[in-house]
Every structure is written in structure tokens, then in C-alpha cells.
Amino acid sequence: MTTAGDAPEGMRFTATGLDGCYLVEPVRRPDDRGFFARTFCADEFTRRGLTAGVAQCSVSHNAAAGTLRGLHYQVGEPGEAKLVRCTRGRVFDVAVDLRPASPTFGRWTGVELSEENRLALFVPEGFAHGFVTLEPASEVFYQISVPYRPGDSAGVRWDDPALAISWPPMEPLTISARDRALPTLEAVKASGRLPGP
């Protein structure tokens, strides 16, 4: 008999090199029908010291390949954490550490998320997040720890040379006017609108 204490892990957490930022892979349990996999478990997140609460879920549908969104974050307390997955198509997903006291401040990690690989990226508080679509009609699903606060919405330029993000070798074709106008990391630091400690 299996008890809750010795139940197998439902997800694999792989460190990205940025403290608190993980690649999350559902463990598939196949049978003749297909497979079953857990995509979120508050207990498994809590055991790793990660934010486990979900206050809001959102979906982003992107009509064209080469659509870029980001890099976005929220200032103020409580901080915003996200679990991000691609439920249709493919995206290159990026998280940037913007915590001023972090030894990895200004560093980034990127991973391809797709409906085939079913990976998710956990983006902790104090990080900026963005992605570019690699296929048309790509959809991204977010589980977010706090409600969206328009007055605390902020961002940093996706192509800031100071971040040196290695985006896929394609020119983004669709970027919102808001995202085109986002400041550089240097300007964000000068403004004092960095997230968290």
C-alpha cells in the first residue's frame, strides 16, 4: 500500500543556475490509453522552498511566429512568481534575475517550451520574464502567485546589450509598442524600479 508520504514525485525539478529558477518536467505515467502526468503540486513546490500559491492564471495566444513578449515583471510586495508552459506550438522562454542583492543579478536562462516536451519554467519573485514564439498559433499558459497590479507593472528591454540574451537566430516580427519602449537595465536601476530584495 502506498501512503501520501511515500508517493512518487510527480514532477522533476532541474536547477537552471539561477537561484530559485527551475525547469519543471511532469513525470509521465503511460498506459494503453496514453499517459497521465501531474503539472503542479503545491506540496512539491513547498518542499523545495518555492512559492506554491496560485492567485491567477492567464493564457497568451500568439498568431505569428516571431512574436516577442517581454521582458516583464512586477515591483512591490508581494513579489510575483510564475509557472510558465507552452500548451500549443513552441516558444523560447527567458527568465532574468533582477534581484539587486542576488549574486546572479542580470543573468538569464532560456529554454524551449513546447506542447511536445511539456516542460514548464518556474520564474521566481524578482525575475523578469519573456518569450518569442517559434511557431504560429503558439499559446503560453501562466500560473501566477499574485494578481496583476497595473501600477506595479514594469519591464526591461528584450535586446538590452547588458543582458546579452542569446535569443533564437530570427528577427522578432511582432512586438507591442509598450515592449518596444521598455527601458534598459541601466535605466531601470537608475529609476529604482527593480523588483524585490
CA distances from 94 to 121, 141, 169 (A): 9, 14, 15
The active-site residue, picked from 22, 61, 73, 142, is 142
- Cell output for 157: 528591454
Q: Point out the least confidently predicted range of 1-15, 72-86, 124-138.
A: 1-15
DSSP string, 92-103: EEEEEE--TT-T
Task: Please report whether residue 2 resides in a domain.
Answer: no
Q: What is the pLDDT of residues 41-97, one digit of tens each?
A: 888 888 988 888 899 999 999 999 999 999 999 998 999 999 999 999 999 999 999
Phi/psi for 111 (5° steps) reads -150, 150
d(C-alpha 103, C-alpha 195), whole Å: 15
DSSP string, 144-192: ESS---GGGEEE--TT-TTT-----SS---EE-HHHHTPPPHHHHHHHT
Task: Please report whether residue 179 resides in a domain.
Answer: yes
Q: What is the pLDDT of residues 139-161, one digit of tens each?
A: 999 999 999 999 999 999 999 99
Task: Please report whether residue 98 resides in a domain.
Answer: yes
Please confirm, yes or no, whether 148 is among the known catalytic residues.
Answer: no
Number of structural domains (the chain) is: 1
Q: What is the pLDDT of residue 197?
A: 67
Quote the pTM value: 0.89
- Cell output for 101: 542583492
Q: What is the pLDDT of residue 35?
A: 81
Segment 186-189 long-range contacts (CB within 8 Å, at least 24 positions apart): 186/162, 188/98, 188/154, 188/156, 189/100
Task: Please report whether residue 33 resides in a domain.
Answer: yes
The active-site residue, picked from 22, 61, 72, 73, is 72
Task: Please report whether residue 69 resides in a domain.
Answer: yes
Q: What is the CATH number of the domain that holds 44?
A: 2.60.120.10
Structural domain span for residue 73: 9-191
Task: Please report whether residue 1 resides in a domain.
Answer: no
Please confirm, yes or no, whether 129 is among the known catalytic residues.
Answer: no
